[in-house]
Amino acid sequence: NERTFIAIKPDGVQRGLVAEIISRLERKGFKLVAIKITVPSKEFAQKHYHDLKDRPFFNGLCQFLSSGPVVAMVWEGEGVIKYGRKLIGATNPQASEPGTIRGDLAVVVGRNIIHGSDGPETAKDEINLWFKPQELVNYKSNEEKWIYGVN
Ligand code: GTP
Ligand code: MG
């Protein structure tokens, strides 16, 4: 079962967009299997964004991620890694399509309200970084047979 890590950054939480964002992922048909609200430390933020450590905005980015509550989630579903990114939209909200989360709800790249894993490897690493295995919940939803057309 494919899973991805999605986080609502401090700007999304402060702007009251948690329910809106969860709602979009839920209505698509993806399944929420882990969720928590936490203020990550700067060191933790640096771990999360380690692949960007040589970029000029790295420090500001990690500072910002650790500046307030983040809603960390794991979502499950067929193609959820790639399609989750599609629902989120392009990194820079100035380039995100309308209809995407960033396109509809954000304006600048440094405050783009949401994060999503960019591939199977990062999804695995990020889920392991943010969650303990026992925090992931395995369950069946009755809607699955209607979403996937199988028993
Ligand atoms: P995430 O889902 O947050 O990882 O975004 P992404 O995968 O679409 O982009 P990327 O991993 O390349 O960058 C991570 C985050 O760094 C972005 O979401 C932005 O918040 C921030 N970022 C990326 N590029 C820039 C930039 O040019 N300037 C600034 N200020 N921030 C940037
Ligand atoms: Mg990224």
Best substitution site from 46, 61, 66, 67 to test ligand 1's pocket, by max atoms within 8 Å of Cβ? 61
pLDDT confidence of residue 151:
63
Residue 143 Cα to ligand 1 midpoint, Å, equals 34
**pLDDT confidence of 150, banded at 50, 70, 90?**
confident
Query: Rounded to the nearest whole angstrom, what is the distance from the C-alpha of residue 5 to the centroid of ligand 2?
Result: 11
Q: Whose CA is nearest to atom 9 of ligand 1?
A: 91
Each residue's pLDDT tens digit, 130-147: 999 999 999 999 999 999
Q: What are the backbone dihedrals phi and psi of residue 59, each rounded to the nearest 5 degrees, phi first?
A: -65, -50
Mean pLDDT of the chain: 97
Interval 41-65 mean pLDDT: 98
Which range is least confidently modeled, 53-67, 106-120, 137-151? 137-151
Catalytic annotation present for 48: no
ipTM of the complex: 0.95
- Model pTM greater than 0.95? yes
CA atoms of 141 and 4, how far apart (whole Å): 18
Strand positions, DSSP E, the chain: 3-8, 31-38, 70-76, 114-116
